Amino acid sequence: MNKIKRVVLVVLDSVGVGELPDAYLYHDEGSNTLAHTAEVVGGLRLLNLERLGLGNIIEIKGVSPRVGSEGAFGKMQEKSFGKDTTTGHWELAGLVLQHPFPTYPEGFPREVLDKFEEAIGRGILGNKVASGTEIIEELGAEHLKTGYPIVYTSADSVFQIAAHEEVIPIEELYQMCQAARGILQGPHGVGRVIARPFTGQPGSFQRTPRRKDFSLKPLYRSVLDLMKEKGARVAGIGKIGDIFAWQGVDSSEKINDNLDGIEKLIALMNKEKEGIIFANLNDFDTLYGHRNNPKGYAEALEEFDRHLPKILAEIKDGDLLIITADHGCDPTTASTDHSREYVPILAYYPGIPKGINLGIRETFSDVAQTIADIFQLGTLVHGKSFKKELGL
């Protein structure tokens, strides 16, 4: 029996595999991020993910099923209410939300904005649901004149603050976000406050990679907290630290894009030999899903697949690799929002029995309970371990 000392958990942000039974409640009927992307571009070339069993989960044009897949495969249902980054990642770590985070399709109420404007000593622009790239083009010139930050939201539970780095320096923008985070608690406890810095001139504004998320603190202990309490390290790649408000996370290295994230993940795997390495690769969602760009989405998937052998080469005896997602964001639908979908799960370790079908899991928290089972952390509130099914 293999003794797992390290779990490498990689989240392909928004790579959903089909609508959940309750997708109609979210107006996401028919969504299937992965299958629809493949169909629109005439098929995907994902030979390494195919080897692990991706084509066994659902029908994907260009990706064949493998009878003797080299990894375990299945899909997971979201038990929490919602379809956003925080909700998905929290559930992967064992936290299931009984009530959705608040959203603001009509903009934020005056009671919130009055407190925010008082805290930052100036007015705001915007206050509506908008695309981040579109709203800075719309209001960027006025922002340059007034110095007022641009506040906007989306279908997700977010309070986003966009500001030009030469008008509101990055540290001041982060302070504004901290102020908003302090205000947005209780009934207005949005999942994330997000700093959205940009540069450039009207007509050619560009968002910079110094985005920062200020998440609500997890409502109770996750498997990450249990790992830390045991003395094991939890190291993040991408926005993991921000998503968990640094609760249960020792370190979290920022990344510029997926390729940078893959390179930093490999470097971290050479450094951290035990505990959990938790990575988020966000380009699928931010650059392509929200912008309804299936071609770019497909290219990002194929880029990840080309680099996957480098990650697999670092998976040694005592390691378990899990590849999954946090929600969907179908780039082929009219909506630019996240979609309520199943997420894939692929698992691999050296010597794993071929062709293990993990089936349809009832909650993302099965990942957390599996990790808890591996590291003898006890039984979590949510989730069912698939450790035995993996042959561990």
Least confident among 115-119, 154-158, 169-173, 255-259:
154-158
Q: Label residue 235 exposed, middle or buried (CB < 10 Å: 0-12, 13-18, 19+).
A: buried
Residues 179-189 pLDDT 10s: 999 999 999 99
Residue 347's Cβ-side half-sphere holds a number of Cα atoms within 13 Å equal to: 29
Cβ-based neighbours of 303, under 8 Å, separated by 6 or more: 258, 259
d(Cα 377, Cα 371) in Å, to the nearest integer?
8
Q: CA angle, corner 317, sides to 313 and 321, nearest 5?
A: 60
Q: The tokens of 290 are what?
A: 């929200």
User: Can you list the positions of beta strands (E) in 189-246?
Assistant: 192-199, 206-207, 212-215, 234-237
pLDDT tens for residues 271-329?
A: 999 999 999 999 999 999 999 999 999 999 999 999 999 999 999 999 999 999 999 99
Strand 251-253 to strand 72-76: parallel, antiparallel, or no bridges (unpaired)? unpaired
Summarised one tens digit per residue, pLDDT across range 193-250 is 999 999 999 999 999 989 999 989 998 899 999 999 999 999 999 999 999 999 999 9
Supply 314's token pair: 């670092």
Q: Which domains are present in the chain?
A: 6-98+218-390 (3.40.720.10), 110-215 (3.30.70.1250)
Q: What is the secondary structure of 300-331 as a DSSP string?
A: HHHHHHHHHHHHHHT--TTEEEEEE-S-B--T
Lowest mean pLDDT among 49-63, 97-111, 316-330, 338-352: 97-111
Distances (CA, A) of 131 to 26, 211, 317: 19, 15, 45
For residue range 11-38, what is the model confidence (pLDDT) as tens digits?
999 999 999 999 999 999 999 999 999 9
Q: What angle do CA 384, 386, 392 make, to 5 degrees?
A: 140
Give pLDDT tens digits for 330-365. Answer: 999 999 889 999 999 999 999 999 999 999 999 999
| Residue 260: partners with Cβ closer than 8 Å, 6 or more residues away | none
Euclidean distance between CA atoms 318 and 3, whole angstroms: 6
Mean pLDDT of all residues in the chain?
Answer: 96
Classify each residue of 8-46 as buried b or exposed e, where b means 16 or more C-beta atoms within 10 Å of its C-beta: bbbbbbbbbbbbbeebeebebeebbbbbbbbbebeebbb
Tell me which residue of 181, 177, 178 sits closest to 196, measured CA to CA: 177
Phi-psi region of 354 (alpha: psi -120 to 50; beta: other; left: phi over 0): beta
Give, in order, the Cα–Cα distances in Å from 388 to each of 110, 246, 322, 369, 371.
53, 31, 15, 12, 12
What mean pLDDT comes out for the span 78-89?
A: 94
Mean pLDDT score, 133-155: 95
Rounded Cα distance between 357 and 226, Å, is: 28
Query: In the prediction, which pLDDT does 120 show?
Result: 98
Residue 141 has pLDDT above 80, yes or no: yes
pLDDT at 99: 86
> What confidence category does residue 1 fall into, taking pLDDT thresholds of 50, 70 and 90?
low
Nearest partner of 370 among 353, 388, 357, judged by Cα = 388
Question: What's the pLDDT at 209?
Answer: 87
Q: What gap in Å lies between CA 54 and CA 48, rounded to an integer?
A: 9
pLDDT score recorded for residue 100: 86
